[in-house]
Amino acid sequence: MQAVAVGEVVIGAGALGLIAGPCVIESLELCQRVAEHMTRVCQRLGVPYIFKASFDKANRTSHDSFRGHGLEAGLEVLARIRREFSVPVTTDIHESWQAEPVAQVVDLLQIPAFLCRQTDLLASAARTGKPVNVKKGQFLAPWDAGNIVDKLRAFGASGVLLTERGTSFGYNTLVVDMAGLPILRGFGVPVVFDATHSVQRPGGAGKQSGGDRASIEPLARAAVAVGVDALFMEVHPDPERALSDSATQYPLTQVEPLLTRLLRIWEVAQGG
């Protein structure tokens, strides 16, 4: 497997990494609070950590849902988090022209699931020289992700991560095929499990996505046992009041106990 360097953090080098932060950049203060807590927790537990937050949620269910404060303001926040907490940062891009300015600030570019097959978007991300994390589309079989990896390699990506975030199954329902995780790892790239988006019920709350927060830990435990290189989680100090994905963001104060339990499973799964 080709490990991926994301700033000073390496994913796929024998430690369980974590990509985590609020769904969207609601404010600088929120991001600082989350980054401070998560950096401290991950240092204590020895978990390689990457901060994540979106400057724009371009695929909200409703046109009047909060999307963020835009590219310029969002990048200013991400740059400050990176500088203040000495932590790598990532965010998602939705259009090809965004790749270059975003890559000037972040350490890892993220491609949203619904856009995972957009060739021009993948090409623009790869050509920035920054590693690329692609969320496998809810409409793709695990083996179809191999074409995504091939595209990124052809475009010269410096590193590739694949993230599993569930597959569409019926109305407003996602399921996670744990047997697909080894298939994704078989492409020779580190695999990330998105523990919070995988429990969403897209559009299940009318004008917003619903979800089942109680299923986050069971699915994360299963994924770590099967074998992944990192976890992805959206976390928030007060999930019920979050401006995006309030049904599935994980409470900030509960992250450390969860990671502690997951690391025990990781050690056993690794033969430790």
Cβ neighbors of 125 (< 8 A, separation 6 or more) are 93, 99, 103, 109, 111, 132, 152, 157
Per-residue pLDDT of the chain (272 residues; tens, 9 = 90+): 899 999 999 999 999 999 999 999 999 999 999 999 999 999 999 999 999 999 987 775 556 566 768 899 999 999 999 999 999 999 999 999 999 999 999 999 999 999 999 999 999 999 999 999 999 999 999 999 999 999 999 999 999 999 999 999 888 889 999 999 999 999 999 999 999 999 988 764 545 566 789 999 999 999 999 999 999 999 999 999 999 888 899 999 999 999 999 999 999 998 85
CATH architecture for segment(s) 4-269: Alpha-Beta Barrel (3.20)
Nearest Cα neighbor of 133 from 59, 251, 208, 54 is 54
CA 192 – CA 223 distance, rounded (Å): 9
CA 105 – CA 108 distance, rounded (Å): 9
Strand pairing class (174-175; 9-11): unpaired
Tokens of 239: 């999930």
